[in-house]
A and B are shown apart, each in its own frame.
Chain A
Amino acid sequence: MTTRIEARKKGLRMAAHLAVVTGVLAGAAAAAQGAPATPTTAQTESASGESASSENGVSALSALLRTNARGGNCGCAPCWGPPAPPAMSDPLPIFGEEYV
C-alpha cells in the first residue's frame, strides 16, 4: 500500500508542475509531496464541508456522486484520452446585452 501511496504522490507531483504560474502553485506541489498546502476554497469546501482533497472529502464527494450523478461516459473506467469538451449550458451574449 505504501508503494501505491508513493506512486500517487509521484503522479500528482508531475501534474502539479504543469499548472505552475511561477511561485503561485508552490502549495500544489507541496500538497503533491504530502505537505500541507495553502487551502483554496475548492479544497476547503466540498460535499460535506470537509476538504475535498482530504481523505474524508474524497469519500464525501464519492458518496455524493454515487447517489446524485449519472455517469458521463460509457460507464467503464474513465480513460486518458480527453473527452470532447462540454457546451456552455448557459450561453451569454458576446456583445450587447449586459449580464451580471
Chain B
Amino acid sequence: MNRYDETADIELDLTQEASLEKIELGNISILTVEERSAAVLNWKNRMVSEHVSARVFAGFFDKMVRAGLPARHLNAAQQGMAEELSHAVLCGRVLQAFGERASAPLPNPLPQVERHEDASPIEAVLRDAISIGACSETVAVALVGTEREQAASDGLRAVLDQILTDEVGHSRLGWKLLDEYLPRLGAREKKRLSRYLVDVFEHQLAFHKPFVDLPPMTDTGVAFGAPDGPSNFEVFVHTMTTITVPGLAARGLAANEAWNKAITHLRAHKKLAGTFDAAA
C-alpha cells in the first residue's frame, strides 16, 4: 500500500490560472540582478502566502459557524478565502511578467490553524478578528498602500490596488466584528481576550522579525516589489503602535498593557508566542 510521504515537497502550480491574463510590468531591464532576484523571490513568497492564507479564512469561517454568526459575516469570510486565492493568481501573473514560472513549493507541513477550543465560540471568533483583522490585515493595508504609491507601472499598480481593496475589506471585517460583538461579552471573556493580546502581539513581532534582517532596497527595486526591510519594519511598528493598539484599547481591551508585556517578554529572551523554527 502506498503511504503519503510527509517529507515530500508539494508544489503550488498556478501557471494555468496565471496565464489567463497578462500584466505589463514596465521596463524590467533597468533592474540590477540583485533587485530583480529580490523582487521575484518576494512575489513568489507572496503567491504562496496568499494561497495558503485561504486556510486562515476557512478557519475563521468555521469559528463563525460555531458561534452562530449571521450570513453577512459568513459571506465576508468566504469572500476573504476566495480573494486570498485570487491574490495568489495575481502574484503568479507578476511572476510570469518577469518571465518566471508561477509555481513554488508549499511549506510542508503548513502551520496549524488554531481552533481556540479553550474559548467560548464567540470569543474564538474575536480572537481571530483581532489577529487576522485588527493586526495582520491592518498591517497589510499599510504595507500594500505604501508599495502601490511606488509601483513601477500602471499594470503593477492595478495588481496592488486590487489586493489593497480586498485587504481593506478583510481588515474591516475584523474591526466590525469587534465593534458588534465585543460589547456583548462578559467581563471574564473580555479579560481573557486582553490576555490573548499578549500572544497576538508576540506573534506579530515574531512574524515581522524577518524585516529586521532584510537589507534596505533601492527605489527601483521597491517599485517592482523587492522588499525594503527597514522601511517595511517601520510601517509595521507604526501600524501596531499608532493604529492597532490604540484601536483595541479604545474598544475596552487592555491593549497598551499587552503590547508592553510582549516587549517585556522580548527583553527577557522569552520564546515568543506562535513562533516555530523555520526548519521545523
Contacts and interface: CB of A to CB of B under 8 A. Distances in A.
Given A70-B271, A78-B211, A92 B50 contact: no
Nearest to B80: A82
Contact of A72 (B143, B259, B276): B276
Nearest to B149: A7
Contact of A19 (B138, B263, B269): B138
B262 to A, nearest CB: 10
Given A75-B278, A82-B136, A18 B131 contact: no
B247 interface: yes
Interface string A69-82: 11111111111111
Q: 5 tightest CB-CB pairs across the interface, nearest first?
A: A72-B206, A81-B53, A19-B247, A86-B274, A11-B146
A28 B246 contact: yes
Interface size range on A against B: 35 or more
A78 to B, nearest CB: 5
A35 B180 CA distance: 31
Interface string A31-71: 11000010011110111000111010110011011101111
**Chain B contact residues, majority secondary structure:** helix
A75 to B, nearest CB: 4
6 contacts: A8-B238, A11-B146, A18-B171, A61-B205, A64-B263, A85-B128
A18 B242 CA distance: 12
**Chain A contact residues, majority secondary structure:** loop
Interface of B: 41-42, 45-46, 48-53, 55-56, 59, 84, 87, 107, 111-114, 116, 118-120, 123, 127-128, 130-132, 134, 136-147, 149-150, 163-164, 167-168, 170-172, 175, 179, 188-189, 191-192, 195-196, 198-200, 202-203, 205-214, 219, 222, 227-247, 249-251, 255-257, 259-260, 263, 266-267, 269, 271-278
A11 B145 contact: yes
A28 B247 contact: yes
Contacts of B206: 69-73
Contacts of B199: 86-89
B150 A3 contact: yes
A84 B59 contact: yes
A91 B206 CA distance: 21
Given A25-B243, A72-B275, A94-B120, A19 B233 contact: no
Residue from the set B163, B175, B212 with the largest chain A CB neighbour count within 10 Å: B212
Contacts of B211: 77-78
Nearest to A30: B242
Contact of B241 (A18, A53, A69, A85): A53
Residue from the set B48, B141, B211 with the largest chain A CB neighbour count within 10 Å: B141
Nearest to A79: B49
A91 B167 CA distance: 30
A15 B116 contact: no
A41 B271 CA distance: 23
B175 A19 contact: yes
Contacts of A99: 191
Contacts of A85: 56, 114, 116, 127-128, 130-132, 200, 203, 274
A40 B144 contact: no
B234 A80 contact: no
Contacts of B247: 19-21, 25, 28
